[in-house]
Amino acid sequence: MKQALYNTFIDKKNAGEKSFAVLIDPDKVTLQSIVPLVALAVEAKVDYFFVGGSLIISNHLDVCIQAIKANCNIPVLLFPGSPSQVSRYADALLYLSLISGRNPELLIGQHVISAPFVKKSGLEIIPTGYMVIDGGAPTTVSYISNASPIPADKNDIAMCTAMAGEMLGMKLIYMDAGSGAKTPIAEGMIQAVSKNIESPLIIGGGITTPEKAYLNCKAGADVIVIGNAIEKDVSLIKEMSDAIKSVAVKA
Ligand code: 1GP
């Protein structure tokens, strides 16, 4: 099994480095807009591109990833909303199991159906415990997943869910308030989870300011994912990256 990118997550965590992932929703970019976006990401030393969405209406996932890959060496990880969002042009697949929900289809059902196809893709597969946290308004992910998010103030539920995911073998834990969340995940919850797991912790959903990204890292996030705020203002990439990377934790 390939694990080069997973090793990168671990190496960075062990070195106390915080990482920045820019989320690209193929529905929200044009091929023309990818080139300048990638240039800004390279300049800002973005660590990863996550590509995907709860719902992809357009049909240009492959070309979108090829355009990114043609213009930089930043790794591309698929962040799929459904098994149809697999592209062999990416570097790795966040193999998500929605451990915060109780919808068997998203815990294991869709994985079974797509397993031969996913294996054949040759992608690096990174088992990821995906936890949706209530972000103050119904988001696409909460509607599509047909599963209740973890209440925003239930730190203990989040903590136990992440611990269980890790013990079940999930290599990464991704806590998400949902794209465009009104309320991003509170630092208290990030802290409660990060203190109790060793796996790299990814945090996203509704982060719109460098200050919030900084505080999330201070609380224990290892990777910050930002989509919407950058779609609205690409110049934020540099400020976000600087804020995230200014948090150096002694290993
Ligand atoms: C959503 O975590 C990501 O799944 C990013 O959210 O688009 O709100 O930054 P935003």
Pick the residue whose CA is nearest to atom 5 on ligand 1.
205
Confidence of residue 250 (pLDDT cuts 50, 70, 90): low
SS3 call for 58 = coil
The pLDDT, as a whole number, for residue 235 is: 93
Residue type, 110: Q
Hey, how many other C-beta atoms are within 10 angstroms of the C-beta on 166? Answer: 19
Average pLDDT over residues 233-247: 97
Hey, how many other C-beta atoms are within 10 angstroms of the C-beta on 53? Answer: 24
E strand or H helix at 172: strand 172-176
List C-alpha distances in Å: 47 to 21, 32, 36, 73, 196. Answer: 6, 22, 17, 10, 25
Classify residue 66: in a domain, yes or no: yes
The rounded Å distance from CA 105 to ligand 1 centre is 22
Classify residue 234: in a domain, yes or no: yes
Classify residue 47: in a domain, yes or no: yes
pLDDT in tens, 129-175: 999 999 998 888 888 888 999 999 999 999 999 999 999 999 999 99
pLDDT in tens, 71-115: 999 999 999 988 889 999 999 999 999 999 999 999 999 999 999
Determine the angle formed by the axes of helices 210-219 and 236-245, rounding to 10 degrees.
20
CATH number reported for the structural domain that contains residue 143 in this entry: 3.20.20.390
Q: Which range, of 13-17, 55-59, 85-89, 92-96, averages the lowest pLDDT?
A: 55-59
Nearest to 61, CA basis, from 39, 93, 36: 93
Classify residue 251: in a domain, yes or no: no
The rounded Å distance from CA 126 to ligand 1 centre is 19
Classify residue 44: in a domain, yes or no: yes
Pick the residue whose CA is nearest to atom 2 on ligand 1.
204
CB contact at 8 A, 59 and 73: no
Strand pairing report for 124-132 and 172-176: parallel
Strand pairing report for 201-204 and 124-132: unpaired
- Which residues does ligand 1 sit against, CB inside 6 Å? 23, 176, 179-181, 204-207, 225-229
Domain that residue 13 falls in: 4-245
Classify residue 56: in a domain, yes or no: yes
E strand or H helix at 92: strand 92-98
Average pLDDT over residues 41-52: 98
Closest ligand 1 atom to residue 54 Cα is: 4
Classify residue 250: in a domain, yes or no: no
Cα–Cα distance for residue pair 209/40, rounded to 1 Å = 17
Q: What percent of the chain has pLDDT over 70?
A: 99
Classify residue 133: in a domain, yes or no: yes
Rg of the chain over Cα atoms, rounded to whole angstroms, equals 16
Pick the residue whose CA is nearest to atom 1 on ligand 1.
179
Number of domains within the chain: 1
